[in-house]
Structure 1
């Protein structure tokens, strides 16, 4: 955990000088705009260099530079800026994601937002939030019904084809839905401000570091079918297991 915090500090020091500066934005390719900046690349490079020095036998999977296989069972999962679209327009709704797995199972997760000086992470049994040096334990809030729930998702554009109608059906049943937020939404769920996060098309580095944060705050994370979320795809996170079951049922039709 100490190493994860040190990695977040290094990444934040690289990223912050670029934020709200009008830096160049590249498109990774594909039909949908998929932005990447020097801040993304430089932050992941800094993390990889630190890991190579601290634990050279560990593997790494990062959004910008792919997979580096290690000789041990440990693997770090890195997304230097989750929420690059928010980053390039100056919104502080992005974060650095750092996770560690052993044999594929999540051990720890951390999300750092250096601009707001907020950090969310998982301990062995609990989840924690720190701002301006003050650390508190996080807990999800109870919410047993869809009618009382607040639902968040990064963008409606991620729900394509057959996924659009089930999501629309679910979002009509909740009290409030909001778009935008990326990784921030999962941390606000762990902090007890959001009840549901529902998304599609996630990669492992988008979700795996967030799983232990949500779970150790008392929440539930799975695919829409209730399966293991570590490979990404269609994801649902809920603070209350009762709400999780109701949302899965509605998404299934």
Structure 2
């Protein structure tokens, strides 16, 4: 992209703005929470809304020509062919519990794929960046390149997912076929699991029922670190649904075979 540096600078400014909007609410004594899905529990807080407003303000000033798709405020049309896909707090359940496994997700689509993304954890000050020639973790004390780990057999792999009751009964059964073959399965880290995959700490993330704003940023980060991200049929994952992220093509193939019986 000709304006790659401006895109990168804009994404970091958005992440900084979201941090400033969110942190006063994290572990606060009184955090008001609304439920977006009365039949279940899909929480949203003022921190979610304030963070997305802050990111949209940055885009209105720096890149008004770009479209936006955000979890809290929906779609805004653009004319550049680029769309920013925003999840102001991925992991709101963790956020309201005071657990630092949530994150701010920023992804950039050109209509054919996700070209750049960030996973930002404001409380720990960790920012995972991928795309446009970058694959890096930035921290308060410095930074390091991102790279998935290689050479791990499925029987020695570590697998993560957000919910143990993943998806439909058929999806849950498919997930169990993989979980029964790996060394370790852990739950509940939301977007942070993809960050750990890109950092070379785990090997697989398998989820279902995702929206595009849940996966756009993580997809870019994992792929930039050398991983593979698809749907459960091996197709594009940018629109969400059933998603598998793997450190290597071999692990990806073996897990896909198990998911599909």
Q: Please, what TM-score do these two structures have when normalized by structure 2? A: 0.94
What is the alpha-carbon distance in structure 1 between the residues aligned to residue 182 and residue 257 of structure 2?
14
Gaps of 5+ in 1: none
Q: Does structure 2 retain, via aligned residues, the 8 Å contact 1:19–1:87?
A: yes
1:82 aligns with 2:90: yes
Moved more, 119-128 or 165-174: 119-128
What is the alpha-carbon distance in structure 1 between the residues aligned to residue 257 and residue 198 of structure 2?
22
> Matched residue of 1:147: which SS?
helix
What is the alpha-carbon distance in structure 1 between the residues aligned to residue 172 and residue 82 of structure 2?
37
> Matched residue of 1:173: which SS?
coil
Pairing partner for 2:136 from 113, 121, 128: 128
Match for residue 119 of structure 2? 111
What is the alpha-carbon distance in structure 1 between the residues aligned to residue 161 and residue 151 of structure 2?
18
Gaps of 5+ in 2: 1-7
Match for residue 18 of structure 1? 25
> Matched residue of 2:61: which SS?
helix
1:217 aligns with 2:225: yes
Q: Let me know the Cα RMSD of the aligned residues.
A: 1.1
1:41 aligns with 2:49: yes
What is the alpha-carbon distance in structure 1 between the residues aligned to residue 38 and residue 209 of structure 2?
14
What is the alpha-carbon distance in structure 1 between the residues aligned to residue 151 and residue 99 of structure 2?
29
Runs of 4+ in structure 1 off by over 4 angstroms are: none
What is the alpha-carbon distance in structure 2 between the residues aligned to residue 174 and residue 159 of structure 1?
20
Match for residue 9 of structure 1? 16
Pairing partner for 1:194 from 182, 202, 217: 202
What is the alpha-carbon distance in structure 2 between the residues aligned to residue 62 and residue 239 of structure 1?
28
Pairing partner for 1:142 from 150, 174, 187: 150
Q: Does structure 1 retain, via aligned residues, the 8 Å contact 2:10–2:58?
A: no
What is the alpha-carbon distance in structure 1 between the residues aligned to residue 221 and residue 50 of structure 2?
25
Deviations 1:57-88 (A, max 9, x none): 11000000110111220110000000000000
What is the alpha-carbon distance in structure 1 between the residues aligned to residue 149 and residue 44 of structure 2?
35
What is the alpha-carbon distance in structure 1 between the residues aligned to residue 219 and residue 37 of structure 2?
28
Deviations 1:73-124 (A, max 9, x none): 0110000000000000000000000111112421210011110010000142
What is the alpha-carbon distance in structure 2 between the residues aligned to residue 108 and residue 123 of structure 1?
4
Q: Does structure 1 retain, via aligned residues, the 8 Å contact 2:166–2:175?
A: no
Q: How far apart are residue 159 of structure 1 and its match?
A: 2.5
Deviations 1:139-163 (A, max 9, x none): 1001442101000001112332211
Match for residue 164 of structure 1? 172
Match for residue 179 of structure 1? 187
Closer, same or farther: CA 68–104 of 1 in aligned 2, 3 Å: farther
> Matched residue of 1:250: which SS?
helix
